[in-house]
Amino acid sequence: MRKVILSMMVSLDGFIEGPNRELDWTIVDKEIDTYADDLLSTVDAILLGRRTYQLFVGFWPTATTEEEIIADKMNEIPKIVFSRTLDKAPWGKWNNAHLVQENIAEELSNMKKQPGKNMVIFGGANLAQTFMQHDLIDEYRLLVQPIVLGSGTPLFKSGSDRIHLNLLKTQKFNSGVVGVYYQPAKK
Amino acid sequence: MRKIIVSEFVTLDGVMEAPETWQFPYYSDDMGEVIKVQNLASDAMLLGRVTYEVFAAYWPTQINNEFGIADKLNSMPKFVVSSTLQKPLVRG
């Protein structure tokens, strides 16, 4: 079955954005570009929450591969946007973002049963937490940044159930970022 | 100058409390080696009150150099930071 991969930049204290939603602390360099490019080569759907969609759609459709090596992939790979409030989800000339407004866990569960490559979630704590609660995430790829933010939006919701994980791989980046890859342990 | 090294067990979501309730399944010989090397390279241990009480109830009874660190851990000076403890439960 195709896997749902969660790929996130996270601070050492577990936040995915600062208290004012700032992302200025994340390290994006050539190595991270290569990481993202490799990951995107293995997927045929990018899963986005509303806020991440709005952030991405303001950037990627006008980006070119000369500036951003993953631009073509970001634009050409179909996007699934999960939002109760949006009524359409354009994506420049590609127009390949599909909106899912209801029953998002069920919809993703159905998508996983269809043939295809893996699917990736970039960003979006609410979406990630919803999928975690429904046990729909098959792999966590966390890029731990060398910073303690102190406050912000946590990746893991306080008070949620334990998730037992098996370590698949670690990856050390020259910037000081450490990639830790896990899959949920079989119950 | 001497360094203060913070060494903690921590969950992926940043919890470090009560490791005795979740950490044991992940203990391994190579982790034990890291802890041992780290302990042997230190000559003082800084503890909060709760950790002190957990440690004081366990380590002084380990006389056979358990995990390769019991002797060192028992003989090295401990500094316990607490506003409530009146005196140490054991000498150390």
Domain that holds residue A124: 4-184
B70 occurs within a structural domain: yes
Amino acid residing at B10: V
Q: Give contacts of A 145-164 with B, CB under 8 A.
A: 154-156, 162
Number of structural domains in chain A? 1
Is the Cβ of A14 closer than 8 Å to some Cβ of chain B?
yes
Looking up tokens 């409030």 gives A85
Per-residue CA distances from A153 to A12, A51, B45 (Å): 13, 13, 34
Task: Find, in chain A, the residue whose alpha carbon is nearest to that of B12.
Answer: A14
pLDDT band at residue B65, thresholds of 50, 70 and 90?
A: confident
The answer to whether the CB atoms of B14 and A182 lie below 8 A apart is: no
B64 occurs within a structural domain: yes
pLDDT in tens, A160-178: 889 999 999 999 999 999 9
Domain that holds residue B69: 44-83
> Which has the higher per-residue pLDDT, B74 or B88?
B74
The answer to whether the CB atoms of A142 and B12 lie below 8 A apart is: yes
Question: Is the confidence at residue B80, as pLDDT, over 90?
Answer: yes
Structure tokens at A127: 């979406």
Q: For residue B86, give the DSSP letter.
A: -
B25 occurs within a structural domain: no
pLDDT band at residue B92, thresholds of 50, 70 and 90?
A: very low
Q: For residue A63, give the DSSP letter.
A: -
CA distance A143 to A6: 11
User: What number is the average pLDDT over the span A124-130?
Assistant: 89
Per-residue CA distances from B28 to A130, B42, B63, B67, B74 (Å): 33, 22, 22, 11, 22
pTM of the full predicted structure? 0.89
B5 occurs within a structural domain: no
B36 occurs within a structural domain: no
pLDDT in tens, A57-116: 999 999 999 989 999 999 999 999 999 999 999 999 999 999 999 999 999 999 999 999
Number of structural domains in chain B? 1
B33 occurs within a structural domain: no
Is the Cβ of B6 closer than 8 Å to some Cβ of chain A?
no
The CATH number linked to A118 is 3.40.430.10
Q: Which residues of A touch B13 (CB under 8 A)?
A: 14, 154-156
pLDDT in tens, B23-49: 999 999 999 999 999 999 999 999 999
